[in-house]
Amino acid sequence: MTKDSLWSAIASTLRSEIGAGHYRPGDRLPTEAALSARFGVNRHTVRHALAALADRGLVQPRRGAGVFVAQKPTDYPLGRRVRFHQNVITAGQTPSRRISRKETRPCDSEEARALCLRTGDAVHVVEGVSLADGQPIAAFRSVFPAARFPGLMALVQESGSITRALAASGLPDYTRAETRLTAQLADPVLALALAIRPGAPLLRTVAVNVDSAGVPVEHGLTWFAGELVTLTVADQP
């Protein structure tokens, strides 16, 4: 059997086992070492077989974690009220967030325009990764006017939730004024954060949330893993 037919046969075997439910969506496949031992081949041949499965969208390599059976993309509605936790729960998954940065700094010109501030005014910046069933699906950056929410950073630290922190800061509700969508490829930093390969497709949203009087309260950027999320435009009250 040639090397080409070897990796193809291994890919076919794994594909059949995935189809039969031996490995379910979200399950991690055995390591390259384990598969090499099972099939009696070197790791390069196994790697080729796994790459073929990834090209067909059946598995998803996660840097530093292994190769996982592809999950059904998470439906993520975009409407007047966009709430990460509620969207993920509605999709039948468990939401969580890892916050990696909390900083108060001067705003740049884009943030100033979005929040109706002057360039250089103080803003709070919160960055992190959003997860569904423990899998990263989006990286985010949220920017808030510091003068309006002076205690926001401590509340985010305490609650772990931006929505709850805003409510505790006197903003019980807010709505989406606009969302702009563009497509881009993951650079190495975003790829590392989302545990995807560099160059994987991303859906980037730039949004502005406002209070009941229409005053901007949040400028948000989100980078969704294109293979893991389906963005939908939904009419909401």
| Boundary (domain end) residue, out of 69, 87, 119 | 69
Residues 87 and 37 in one domain: no
Please report the pLDDT score of residue 112 as a whole number. 98
Residues 111 and 163 in one domain: yes
- Cross-strand bridge partners of residue 135: 132
Residues 36 and 92 in one domain: no
234 pLDDT band, cuts 50/70/90, is low
- Which tokens belong to 170? 């006197």
Please report the pLDDT score of residue 41 as a whole number. 93
**Each residue of 93-144: pLDDT tens digit?**
788 899 999 999 999 999 999 999 999 999 999 999 998 888 888 999 999 9
Residues 125 and 220 in one domain: yes
Residues 41 and 80 in one domain: no
- Which tokens belong to 156? 């985010």
Whole-model pTM?
0.74
Residues 137 and 111 in one domain: yes
Compute the distance between CA of residue 140 and CA of residue 181 in angstroms, rounded to an integer. 14
Domain of 174, CATH number, reads 3.40.1410.10
**Each residue of 165-190: pLDDT tens digit?**
999 999 999 999 999 999 999 999 99
Domain of 30, CATH number, reads 1.10.10.10
Helices (H), the chain: 3-19, 32-39, 43-55, 84-90, 109-115, 152-159, 162-168, 188-194
List, in order, residues 6 or more apart from 158 with CB less than 8 Å away.
165
Number of Cβ within a 10 Å radius of residue 153: 18
Residues 173 and 113 in one domain: yes
Domain coverage including residue 130: 74-233
Residues 83 and 185 in one domain: yes
Q: Please give the tally of structural domains in the chain.
A: 2
- Which tokens belong to 229? 């999320």
Residues 60 and 165 in one domain: no
Residues 63 and 99 in one domain: no
Tell me the average pLDDT of the chain: 89
Percent of the chain with pLDDT over 90: 55
| Boundary (domain end) residue, out of 69, 101, 127 | 69
Residues 182 and 65 in one domain: no
Residues 25 and 104 in one domain: no
